[in-house]
């Protein structure tokens, strides 16, 4: 029984430690381009003042989930006031594979791209430290439509479909030839 109590207590402490480690992670889903297909909106913005203010000296990891509706070349820029920006990591949402990691050029400026993104969902992690009680940043994601000069894909029938089509044409030709012989003779 003592062992069971010890395991329960250890599990509760581990759970509390994990919860405390992620206390400063804040995130949002950005509905980027909600226009109908064929209508392109090329810039989306976010201001961190919509998040709760952090005490000075607090590290943060903010995340943004977004989904370009077309293949786009995307540029990400962040400017901060009262925050020190460290870096961002751009990932594919489905498997969290890294597309890009970009370090800050200075304490209040961070930018990267263009990144050629395909239709899908992406996850952007932004890391930094709050320097002032009212510190905030502006995130801007700009996209331009991908290369429209790509030639269209040529469809090639599978061998089974081509064989079936050829067999059908031969059957029609044989029937027509038989019908023509009967009519002549």
pLDDT grade for 22, boundaries at 50, 70 and 90: very low
- CATH no. of 23-145: 2.60.120.380
CB 65 within 8 A of CB 122: yes
What's the CA gap between 93 and 66, in Å, rounded?
9
Helices (H), ranges, the chain: 2-21, 159-184
Cα dihedral across residues 100, 74, 67, 18: positive or negative? positive
Instruction: Please state the pTM of the whole predicted model.
Output: 0.60
Q: pLDDT digits over 33-53, tens only?
A: 555 555 555 566 777 777 778
Q: pLDDT digits over 83-142, tens only?
A: 899 999 999 988 889 999 999 988 888 999 999 988 888 889 999 998 888 888 888 888
Mean per-residue pLDDT, 65-94: 87
Cα dihedral across residues 128, 66, 53, 79: positive or negative? positive
State the CB neighbour count (10 A cutoff) for residue 110.
24
What's the CA gap between 19 and 26, in Å, rounded?
13
Asked if pLDDT for residue 16 goes beyond 60, the answer is no
Task: Give the start-to-end residue ranges of the domains of the chain.
Answer: 23-145
Q: What is the mean pLDDT of the chain?
A: 76
For residue 160, the 8-state DSSP code is H
């Amino acid at each position: 029984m003592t062992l069971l109590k010890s395991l329960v207590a250890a599990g509760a402490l581990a759970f509390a430690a994990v919860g405390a480690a992620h206390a400063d992670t804040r995130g949002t889903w950005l509905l980027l381009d909600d226009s109908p297909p064929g209508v392109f909106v090329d810039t989306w913005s976010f201001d961190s003042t919509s998040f709760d203010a952090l005490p000075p000296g607090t590290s943060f990891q903010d995340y943004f989930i977004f989904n370009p509706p077309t293949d786009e070349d995307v540029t990400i820029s962040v400017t901060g006031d009262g925050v020190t920006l460290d870096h961002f990591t751009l990932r594919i949402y489905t498997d969290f594979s890294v597309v890009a990691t970009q370090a800050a050029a200075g304490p209040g400026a961070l930018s990267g791209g263009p990144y050629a993104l395909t239709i899908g969902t992406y996850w952007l992690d932004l890391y930094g430290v709050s320097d002032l009680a009212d510190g905030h940043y502006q995130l801007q994601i700009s996209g331009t439509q991908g290369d429209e000069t790509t030639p269209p894909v040529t469809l090639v029938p599978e061998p089974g479909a081509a064989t079936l089509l050829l067999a059908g044409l031969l059957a029609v030709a044989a029937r027509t030839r038989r019908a023509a012989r009967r009519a002549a003779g």
